[in-house]
Chain A
Amino acid sequence: MTSLAAQSPLQEASRSKKHIDPCVLVIFGATGDLTGRKLIPAIYNLAHEGQLPAHFACVGFARREKTHDQFRQEMLAAVNEFSRNRPVNKEVWDTFNEHLFYHQSEFDDDDGYEKLRTFLEQIDKQHGTKGNRVFYLSTQPSYFPLIIEKLNKHKLTYDINQEQEKWSRVIIEKPFGHDLKSAQELQKDISQHLDESQIYRIDHYLGKETVQNLMVFRFSNSIFEALWNNHHVDNVQITVSEEIGIGTRGRLWEEAGMLRDIVQNHMMQLLCHVAMEPPTSLKADSIHAEKIKVMSALRPLPLDDITKTAIRGQYGPGYIDGKDVIGYRQEGNVDPKSSVETYVALKIFIDNWRWAGVPFYLRAGKRLPKRVTEIAIIFKQAPGYLFQSNAKGHEPNTLVIRIQPDEGISMKMNCKIPGFSSVMQPVKMDFRYGSYFGSTPPEAYERLICDCMAGDNTLFARADEALASWRLLTPLLDRWAAEKPTDFPNYASGTWGPKAADTLLNNDGREWRLI
C-alpha cells in the first residue's frame, strides 16, 4: 500500500520524520508481565513524545474478565512504575486513556474474535483509525499459530494483495519456535495466513540505541571499517550477563534454557550486526540480505568434541551484591535435578573472506557478577619486540560497544606512564551516550512499535534469519538433550561461569575480557 504522505503538498521531502498512518494496536496477552512492564509504558512514551499518529487506539486482548476502566487503572499503575517519563503527565495520560480499551476473550473463541472485529470497526468510526491494524502477540508462543489463524478467519488481518486502502501487521515475540523443526512448522503455519511483509519478529535488542549505532559506527567511520577483518581482529567477544536469576520464570525456563532464550535470537542478531558486510542501502531488504549472508557462512558446530566449542553451565547457590542467593535447582517450579542450562559459552567461526580464522566467543549467563551486554572487538597485538620488557602493560587494543547499561563505546590503547622510564599502561577513551546526549534515550520497544506502525521492518528479524540461527544451534540442543550434564550446578552465583568456559579460551591462548 502506498503511503498518502507522498501525495500531501504539506509533506516536505527533507523532513525525515516517519509518517505513521492512523491505526489500532491490539495486544494479545494484555494482562501479562510484558504488557505492563514494557509495551504500555512504551506506547505511553510515544504519546508523550508526540510520536503516535493523530488517530490511534490501543486494545488489550486477554482471557481475564476486566472492564475498560480496570484495565486503564492497571496500566496507569504500570506506567507510573516502569515508564522512563515519570511521574506520569496527567494531561498526556488523560488523552491516552480515552484511546485505551480492553477486550476479554479466550484465544480460541471464535465469538471473541467476531466481537473484536465489531469493536475495532466501532473504534475506526469513533477514532478515525481507518481499518489499519497492528496485532502484538505477547502470549506464549504455542498460541501464535492459533491466534494468527483466528485473525485471518475473522478477517481481522487482510490479504496482502488486497491491502489497498488499509493494512494489517502482526508482531511476534520471541521465541520463534524452540528448535529448527518447530520454527519451520511455525513459519509454515503463519505463512498460510500472512505474507512475510506483514510479520514483524521482534527482538528488542535491535531497538537499542547502541545496536542501531553499530551500523553508523562501522560504516561511517573509515578507520574502524578498515580494521574490521581477520588481518587486524584477533577475536570478538559478545557478552550478555545478568546478575539476576530466573525469578518467577521457573516453568518457562525449564522449557527454554539460555541457548533458546538469549543466544538463538539476541546474540545471533548482535553477531550479524558486527560481522555483516556494508549493505548496498539502508533499506530493510539490503540489511536483511547482508545478515543472512553472515548466517549462511556460520561454520556448523563440530559435535564430535563439543566441549571445544560449546560450554553449558547452571548456577548454584552463591552471593550477589554480598547477599546469599539460591541455586537454580532451588528456584520455584524448577526440577531439583534439572539439567537446563543458565549459562552458555560458544566459539563460532564465520567462514567468509573477512572473518576466516577469527573466533567469535559468545557467553550468556544468569547470576553472573553484574548486568552487562557488550561486544568487544579485540585487535591483534602490535609486534612486541620494542616493548618486551613491558609485556604486562602491553595489551591488545580493544574496542568495546556497550549495549546496556551505560550505553557507549570505549577504546583501550597503550600509553607511556609519564616519567623517565618507558613503563606502559593501558588507558581508555570512553564515550557514554548518557553523558553526551542525556540519560533517557527511547526504550527499544518504543522504536520498534513505532517502526512497525510505520511499516519499516529493518529492525525486525526475518524468517530466514531465525531459521538459519536454529539451523546452527539445533544440533547442539539435540546433543545436550541426549547427554545430561553430570556436573550441574557447575558455577556459583556471583562468579563468571563454569571453569570450562575459561578453558575454552585458555586453550586458544586467550582469556575472557575482564568486565
Chain B
Amino acid sequence: MTSTVDINIPNIEQELNRLWKGLKEKKLSKASLFTLIIYAHEPRRAQYLQDLVHTILEKFPCRIIFIEGEDTDRQYFHVSVSTVVSGANSDPQNAKVACDQITIAASKNQLFRVPFLITPNLVPDLPVYLLWGQNPFEENVIFPHLQPIADRVIFDSECSDNLSLFCQEMKDNLGVLSIDVMDINWAIVSNWRDMLFQLFDTKEKIEELKEIKSIVINYHHNATETVQHPEIRAIYLQGWLAASLGWRYRATEVFENNIIISYFGPNTPVVIALAPQKCDNLPPGGIASLEITLTNGHSYSIARKPNISQVIVHASTKDECKLPYTIPLPNVHRGLNFIKEIFFSKLGTHYRQMLDIISLIDYKTLSK
C-alpha cells in the first residue's frame, strides 16, 4: 500500500493518478472487477472490515471506497487516497495488480455529503457491492442513496446489539430490497452447513435427523473490542438446523454460561446447548465442535481438526464405536471460498426460515 494522502475533495482522480505514476517502476497493472463500498459505522468494527477488505483484495482486485462514520458532535469530513496491491499471496512471477482506495472519514452530521462523493468515483459498468457495518434499516443517510446503484449489499449482523431484532428486520425487508443480499455470518457458517449435509448422506442417516434429541455446539467465546457477540455463528447454525428439520421453537435460557434453546422436534423434544469455549486457534465466534445425540443413544461427535480444513467424526451406537473419519470443512474465512460465499452465493429459503426461528428467540435473555 502506498502512503495515504489527505486530499482536497475535487482532486480524487488527480491524486490517484499521481500515486499510480509513482508506482510505474514496480511493474504493476491496474485493474478492478467491481467497486466495493464499505461502511464502518462503529470504530470497533472498522478494523474487522478493513481485514475483510484485505482478504477480498488477495483474490479480486477492486476499487475500494471505505467510509468511516462516527457518532460524535465533532464536525469533520476527510478524504484520503492510496493505492493497494491485490493478490498479495499470489505467485511472485505473476504480474501484480494495483487498486485504488478512497477513504472517507465523516462525523455524523457530515455523512449526508458522502453519497455525492461516491457517485462520481464508481468504476463505470462494473458491479457495485456494499459491505455494510451497520444495520442498514436503521441507517437512512447513505444507504438509501446507494441502494439503487448497488448490485448487492453484504450485512454484518455483528453490528446489531439485538440479533433477534436484526433477524426480524431482515425478514421484513428482504422482499423489499431491490438488490441481492448476503449476511456475512450466514456466509461464514456455510462450511458447517455443507459439512452436515455431507455427513447425513445416506437414507439411514437422513432418517436419523428426525431422531435428534440434543446438540451441543462448542464455539470460541472470546469477546473482543471488535467482536462483541461471538455466539452469533452458533445461533445461526442451530437456527438453520431447526428450520431445515422443521422443529418448532419452545424457549431460550442461559444456564451456567451455556445458551440453551429448546424445540419441539417431529418425534421428540430437542435441546440445543451453545457452549462457549477457549479455542485460540479459531477466530472469535468460530465453531469448534458439535455433539449430536439421537433418541436411540447413537451419537456423532464432530470436531474441527486444528490447522486444517477438515473435521473428524466419531460416530457411535450403544454397542460400538465406529472408526473415526474426516469430512472437508473448507476455510470460509479467507480466500476464494469466502469471496464466492459473500459475492456470489444467494440467500435462499433456508436463510429465510432461519430468520423465522431466530427472530423468536428472546435475545435479551442472553444478555442478562
User: Known contacts being A8-B200, A10-B196, A127-B325, is A434 close to B348, with CB within 8 Å?
Assistant: no
Whether A509 sits at the interface, judged by CB under 8 Å, is no
Bound-complex Cα distance A95 to B91 (A): 27
* Contact status A12-B200, CB under 8 Å: no
Bound-complex Cα distance A437 to B91 (A): 12
- What class of interface size applies to chain A in its complex with B? 35 or more
* Contact status A439-B244, CB under 8 Å: no
Interface centre among B33, B60, B191, B326 (most CB of A within 10 A): B326
* Contact status B90-A15, CB under 8 Å: no
Bound-complex Cα distance A435 to B91 (A): 10
Which of A12, A54, A438 is in CB contact (< 8 Å) with B328? Answer: A54
Interface residues in A121-152 by Cβ distance below 8 A to B read: 126-128, 130
Which of B31, B199, B209, B308 is in CB contact (< 8 Å) with A91? Answer: B308
- What residues of A have a CB within 8 angstroms of the CB of B94 in the complex? 434-435, 439
User: Known contacts being A50-B330, A130-B202, is A10 close to B308, with CB within 8 Å?
Assistant: no
Chain A binding surface, main DSSP class = loop
* Contact status A52-B345, CB under 8 Å: no
* Contact status A17-B328, CB under 8 Å: no
Bound-complex Cα distance A434 to B199 (A): 35
- What residues of A have a CB within 8 angstroms of the CB of B197 in the complex? 5, 8, 10-11
Bound-complex Cα distance A130 to B345 (A): 31
- What residues of B have a CB within 8 angstroms of the CB of A49 in the complex? 328, 330
Interface residues in B326-360 by Cβ distance below 8 A to A read: 326-330, 336, 345-350
* Contact status B327-A54, CB under 8 Å: yes
User: Known contacts being A9-B209, A10-B197, is A52 close to B348, with CB within 8 Å?
Assistant: no
* Contact status B87-A10, CB under 8 Å: no
Bound-complex Cα distance A8 to B202 (A): 9
Interface residues in A31-87 by Cβ distance below 8 A to B read: 47-55
Closest to A51 in B: B328
Whether B173 sits at the interface, judged by CB under 8 Å, is no
* Contact status A47-B328, CB under 8 Å: yes
- What class of interface size applies to chain B in its complex with A? 35 or more
* Contact status A21-B201, CB under 8 Å: yes
* Contact status B310-A95, CB under 8 Å: yes
* Contact status A50-B329, CB under 8 Å: yes
What's the minimum C-beta distance from A83 to chain B, rounded to whole angstroms?
14
- What residues of A have a CB within 8 angstroms of the CB of B241 in the complex? 10
- What residues of A have a CB within 8 angstroms of the CB of B349 in the complex? 12-14
- What residues of B have a CB within 8 angstroms of the CB of A8 in the complex? 197, 200-201, 206
Which of B95, B246, B323, B345 is in CB contact (< 8 Å) with A15? Answer: B345
Closest to A84 in B: B91
- What residues of B have a CB within 8 angstroms of the CB of A4 in the complex? 201-203, 206
Which of B95, B245, B307 is in CB contact (< 8 Å) with A435? Answer: B95
Which of A12, A51, A52, A438 is in CB contact (< 8 Å) with B350? Answer: A12
Whether B305 sits at the interface, judged by CB under 8 Å, is yes
What's the minimum C-beta distance from B206 to chain A, rounded to whole angstroms?
5
What's the minimum C-beta distance from A234 to chain B, rounded to whole angstroms?
29
- What residues of B have a CB within 8 angstroms of the CB of A415 in the complex? none
Whether A231 sits at the interface, judged by CB under 8 Å, is no
* Contact status B199-A54, CB under 8 Å: yes
* Contact status A54-B201, CB under 8 Å: yes
Bound-complex Cα distance A72 to B322 (A): 25
Which of A13, A48, A128 is in CB contact (< 8 Å) with B348? Answer: A13
Interface centre among A5, A12, A48 (most CB of B within 10 A): A12
- What residues of B have a CB within 8 angstroms of the CB of A128 in the complex? 325
Bound-complex Cα distance A133 to B97 (A): 44
Bound-complex Cα distance A11 to B33 (A): 31
* Contact status B201-A22, CB under 8 Å: yes
- What residues of A have a CB within 8 angstroms of the CB of B245 in the complex? 9
Sampled A-B contacts (12; CB under 8 Å): A8-B206, A10-B193, A10-B200, A11-B197, A12-B349, A48-B309, A55-B325, A91-B308, A130-B202, A434-B90, A434-B95, A435-B94
Q: Across the A-B interface, give the 8 residue pairs with the lowest CB-CB distance, nearest first.
A: A50-B328, A14-B348, A91-B308, A50-B330, A54-B327, A439-B91, A10-B197, A439-B94
